[in-house]
Structure 1
């Protein structure tokens, strides 16, 4: 008789092997991040934002065939909302009103397969209506609007899906 833990482990291995058929190698470079339009002031917060975005690009790359390589140069980031200094907690607050504070990124990308460039270009992406449509990410995710914007760009650019 199989135990539930064994069954879950087996299901996890099956899922892992099924998703490994899709998983392009993704490399992300941040070009002069100290000059980005809008990033947190504290170095550890900046690093956290870049780490989360890098992980998100890698997650998106799982939807591409494993024989492809995606390279992304992040040229500029302007996060959703505006920063308001908060002296009480020591952490600045990011306030989002849905006005002229939408997320915006400039990227340069190259998708290769077998040493040949399949797609490349510059992308100037933004979501002016970022608070007007449903967001699949949790309210607790500080980059939920940026991730949603990147999802839409990725689907349109690499998967050919339109909203």
Structure 2
């Protein structure tokens, strides 16, 4: 059986459109940082301010997208605008071998995440909006969670964001 070029092109176009639609439907969560240079504490050890912001935003976006799967429908869009972050601990400068900057984290440290949110349905109408301020001590986090972060800079926010999703979106 011989396929001519127009049929192959049509098939490729249909498949590409299907893939594009399924990816955009699954990516219903967008996370933006509002004036991140003014955030309380977003610095990571060994990174410039710009790279710290990029790294934390990537990790936080991934966390919101993973947790949203159970609460935000495929045809809904959720916009998160982060207005402040204060990572747990503090940077101790010129510490240890090689005088490197390191983040010191103790289980009595406070972390903060402030954000605005807006959820829209497929027609573009706002279904929910508001603000959330997370401010917690690390004392209620198991030490294994902090140690097993797998490179994430925001893993200790997970339980609080999951709780927020349940409170805001579980009834939908």
Q: TM-score, normalised by structure 1?
A: 0.72
Distance 2:67 2:107 in 1: 26
Aligned position for 1:155: 166
The total of aligned residue pairs comes to 138
Aligned position for 1:53: 60
Q: Hey, which bits of structure 1, 4+ residues long, moved more than 6 A? A: none
Q: Which has the larger radius of gyration?
A: 2
Structure with more helix by fraction: 2
1:38 aligns with one of 24, 37, 41: 41
Runs of 5+ consecutive residues of structure 2 not aligned to the other structure: 1-22
Instruction: State the 1:89 CA deviation.
Output: 4.5
Deviations 1:9-59 (A, max 9, x none): xxxxxxxxxxx9x94611111000011000116132331111111111111
Aligned position for 2:120: 112
Instruction: State the 1:94 CA deviation.
Output: 1.8
Q: TM-score, normalised by structure 2?
A: 0.69
Distance 1:91 1:47 in 2: 21
Deviations 1:121-151 (A, max 9, x none): 01111223x3224478462324221233222
Distance 2:170 2:143 in 1: 20
